[in-house]
Structure 1
Amino acid sequence: MTVPAAELSRYADVVLDVAAPITAGDLVLINAEIEHAPLARALTEAAYARGARYVDIWYFDPYAKLSRVRHADGGTLGEVPAWLDARNEELARQCGVLLNLRGAAAPDLLAGQDQVRAGLDRMPHLISRQRLQLENLVRWVIVPCPTAEWARAIFGEPDVTRLWECLRPILRLDHPDPVAAWKQRIAELLDRAATLTSLRLDAVRFQGPGTDLTVGLLPGAHWTAARLESVQGHAFQANLPTEEVFTTPDHRRVEGTVRSTRPLSLDGSVIRDLELTFAGGVVTEVRATSGADVVRTHQATDPGAARLGELALVDGSSPVGQSGVTYLETLLDENATCHLAWGAGLPPGVPAHLRDLAPAERAAAGINVSAVHVDFMVGGPDVTVTGITHDGVTVELLRDDAWQI
């Protein structure tokens, strides 16, 4: 079965009314996989109805990626054609709207392939698109789209109806007024972020089974939520759903070991039982029961790829976590529980006095600079999160998945 067209239309309205409001004359790009076509079409209809000038849908086929990993010259696996970057650069010039659809048709498609080769080919990731998003050169959002094969990966059968029934409350489409429900939730997250900022923390410590990690924060640490503003002043919501509050840590001050609490789906490979050890801010050891070489190759991209760029906290009230499902999709799994990210630091999480620095100055100030950004899940009811102030006072932030502040 498929999701009813009327429900997809209602979903598209929420995306364009809450996450990425369209204004007359906007250029809109939609990045999707082939199986996402029904939602891509609903979003296109809704965008044109709101006055979009042009809507361009780009479909990625992960099976073409599989063929590339199997057969292409290894020296070419990190390359992408310039015309894909040109598309993003034009969108930046227009300060347009970027809609990214998620829900891989085959999350573990590259299982059994050479892990190093799989790690080299990171399509459909594009550095030019990451720049659009990190620098908020456009209004952008990432949203999930249910597919039969995604449902099969989660449930063992291609039950799209079951997956959609999980997603409806997560997306607040079960509310009489989803737009109002999202506005309320976003306000709650921003209030929580303001509370964390007011604590003036110097570091955050994660403790749980296999985990004892201390992450230093930037001076004047700033916490926020995924409610952002484009360079032209357009407000937008970067992720839908969103349940996190986050900050950009000091990439130089990370010590200890952390064990991921959920599998990580990374560009066609599922990384299971990931453990990372940090010393002096750098990953010094990678362990996993599957996909360790994919992570090692990914973290060898550049000097910042093996350092942290994000620290995000999520409590147990999250509808994603309450669903009890591991989605094998970072957009959802990162909003189920606390997470960290290796790679680029997030500008919205940087204190105001550090935001205008040049890239070299950012790295020297502790803001990570990298061509990659990968979130992995580290929280849950067995993980306690504690804040540490500059004078060494500890403040318990999360215990048993509940806020303590």
Structure 2
Amino acid sequence: MDNNSLKKYADLALKIGINLQEKQTLVIMSPVETAPFTRMLVEEAYNLGAKEVIVHWNDDFCKKMKFLHGDIEIFETMPQWEIDSLMFYAEKGAGFLSISANDPELLKGIDSNKIAKAQISRNVGLKAYYEKVMTNAIQWNIISVPTLAWAKKVFPNVSDDEAVENLWKAIIHSVKADTENPVETWKKHLENLKEKMDYLNKKQFKKFIIKNSLGTDLSVELPNKHLWASGKDTTKYGVDFVANIPTEEVFSMPHKYGVNGIVKASKPLNYGGTLIEDFSLTFKNGEIIEFSAKSGEEALRNLINTDEGSKYLGEIALVPYDSPISNTNILFYNTLFDENASCHLAIGQAYPSCIENGDTFTKEEMEKAGVNDSLTHVDFMFGTKDLNIIGIDSLGNKENIFVNGNWAF
């Protein structure tokens, strides 16, 4: 990939994604394999006036060796120093940029008990940090950079170099970094998403009826005074940021107890290094009462049993089938990209900002309003080219929201 495109991408992540402020600290979480691009981010961040840039490195090979050979007890508790590091910088108002680029099948065949314990201990250990993320107390952003294992999963029938180059091209195009001025392009893109968000907030639908030929037949109630959000968020301190690059979604929360019917996943879910494929969930009064998967069912079971809240949903997101990422016809095996090519739901925690005054709610007020609380938040995709969504307002009037996979308004 040419250096000019990479610099545009780095610029986009820092100026639009994090919206790095003068003298602000930046924390980057990066695979060692993506070090060249991470170093570019570090240099550019200092050029933009960063006070300090800290990099937390991770490595798929070492992670797999740990899961293969480590005693199960080491996965039961997250090291306190990892928790303290993130919270130390979060309390100081740092921005957090994560590079999502894991091998989709890294932990295939690994003891599922180890994986489940590791997921739970991490969610418990980082609960306070995740609360800052979910309430927009900090600026945060997720981007992706190719790694060889990921690239070969997406493009298995070409050479290693070609696979990585193909994935780079797909990423650069998907995030609009191949335009003349990506930052300005993104400002216009965010305005387009805001138009959809504003319309849905004005309508305040009480319920969505969601159906497609794959077998999804779902009724999703929305809480009173729910709020739709789109690509741009704002911290409590008034700083705009974009959490995901790319982003094509407009999202809100379902009522915790208002989901009924069946939903069938339209894309595989890469969950913690395990692929969950061809799965379905059945809901009654919001709770997942049945589930199945062609592969990865044990990982799905562990996800659903993380805690009480992981048996319920926390997000509904609308993404047109005719979107730039979907139109690449590439299955990325990476939720950051696949969720922005498809309507999706999230198991677990709801964003408090998706209901009026939600950031001030106590646990009791959240429960009363139908806002789900959980240690986890995991998106999965259900959108298809024949997806239809009907909105029903408080008077019982019906309106097409999606017809044949795309916005109807």
TM-score range, shorter chain: over 0.9
User: Are positions 1:305 and 2:310 aligned together?
Assistant: yes
Alignment match, 1:101 = 99
Deviations 1:289-346 (A, max 9, x none): 1111111112212111111000000013321111101101101000001000001001
Trace 1:19-168 onto structure 2 (pairs within 5 A): 19-104=17-102, 106-122=103-119, 126-156=126-156, 157=158, 158=160, 159-168=163-172
Question: What is the rounded CA distance, in whole Å, between the counterparts of 1:354 and 1:171 in structure 2?
Answer: 31
- Structure 2 unaligned blocks of 5 or more: none
Larger displacement relative to structure 2 (162-171 or 60-69): 60-69
Secondary structure in structure 2 of the residue aligned to 1:304 = helix
Question: What is the rounded CA distance, in whole Å, between the counterparts of 1:58 and 1:353 in structure 2?
Answer: 34
**2:9–2:172: 8 Å Cα contact kept in structure 1?**
no
Alignment match, 2:393 = 389
Alignment match, 2:296 = 291
**Which structure carries more helix by proportion?**
2
**2:5–2:172: 8 Å Cα contact kept in structure 1?**
no
Question: What is the rounded CA distance, in whole Å, between the counterparts of 2:239 and 2:4 in structure 1?
Answer: 28
Report the AA paired with residue 49 of structure 1. N
Deviations 1:80-102 (A, max 9, x none): 11111111211222111100111
Alignment match, 1:169 = 173
Question: What is the rounded CA distance, in whole Å, between the counterparts of 2:352 and 2:178 in structure 1?
Answer: 33
Q: CA deviation at 1:397?
A: 0.9
- Cα 1:63–1:172 change in 2 (3 A) is same
Runs of 4+ aligned residues of structure 1 deviating over 6 Å after TM superposition are none
**1:120–1:298: 8 Å Cα contact kept in structure 2?**
no
Report the AA paired with residue 43 of structure 1. L
Residue identity over aligned pairs, in percent, reads 31
**1:204–1:216: 8 Å Cα contact kept in structure 2?**
yes
- Cα 1:19–1:65 change in 2 (3 A) is same
Larger displacement relative to structure 2 (260-269 or 150-159): 150-159
- Structure 1 unaligned blocks of 5 or more: none
Question: What is the rounded CA distance, in whole Å, between the counterparts of 1:32 and 1:367 in structure 2?
Answer: 32
Deviations 1:74-132 (A, max 9, x none): 3442421111111121122211110011121x111111223343233228764344223
Question: What is the rounded CA distance, in whole Å, between the counterparts of 1:70 and 1:205 in structure 2?
Answer: 44
Question: What is the rounded CA distance, in whole Å, between the counterparts of 1:72 and 1:284 in structure 2?
Answer: 34
Q: CA deviation at 1:276?
A: 0.6
Match of 2:279 among 270, 274, 277: 274
User: Are positions 1:367 and 2:342 aligned together?
Assistant: no
**2:8–2:182: 8 Å Cα contact kept in structure 1?**
no
Q: CA deviation at 1:67?
A: 2.9
Match of 1:337 among 342, 365, 374: 342
- Cα 1:321–1:369 change in 2 (3 A) is same
**1:119–1:293: 8 Å Cα contact kept in structure 2?**
no
Secondary structure in structure 1 of the residue aligned to 2:295 = coil
Question: What is the rounded CA distance, in whole Å, between the counterparts of 2:37 and 2:138 in structure 1?
Answer: 21
- Cα 1:249–1:163 change in 2 (3 A) is same
Match of 1:215 among 220, 240, 249: 220
Tell me the TM-score normalized by structure 2: 0.94
**2:326–2:341: 8 Å Cα contact kept in structure 1?**
yes
Match of 2:239 among 226, 234, 239: 234
User: Are positions 1:320 and 2:317 aligned together?
Assistant: no
**2:321–2:383: 8 Å Cα contact kept in structure 1?**
no
Larger displacement relative to structure 2 (357-366 or 328-337): 357-366
Question: What is the rounded CA distance, in whole Å, between the counterparts of 1:35 and 1:4 in structure 2?
Answer: 18
Alignment match, 1:194 = 198
Alignment match, 1:253 = 258
Tell me the TM-score normalized by structure 1: 0.95
Supply the RMSD in Å over aligned alpha carbons.
Answer: 1.7
Question: What is the rounded CA distance, in whole Å, between the counterparts of 2:76 and 2:266 in structure 1?
Answer: 29
Question: What is the rounded CA distance, in whole Å, between the counterparts of 2:89 and 2:396 in structure 1?
Answer: 46
**2:277–2:296: 8 Å Cα contact kept in structure 1?**
yes
**1:116–1:293: 8 Å Cα contact kept in structure 2?**
no
- Cα 1:128–1:88 change in 2 (3 A) is farther
Larger displacement relative to structure 2 (259-268 or 190-199): 190-199
**2:77–2:122: 8 Å Cα contact kept in structure 1?**
no
Question: What is the rounded CA distance, in whole Å, between the counterparts of 1:124 and 1:179 in structure 2?
Answer: 34
Larger displacement relative to structure 2 (385-394 or 286-295): 385-394
Equivalences, count: 401
Deviations 1:121-171 (A, max 9, x none): 228764344223112221110111122221101111431111111122211
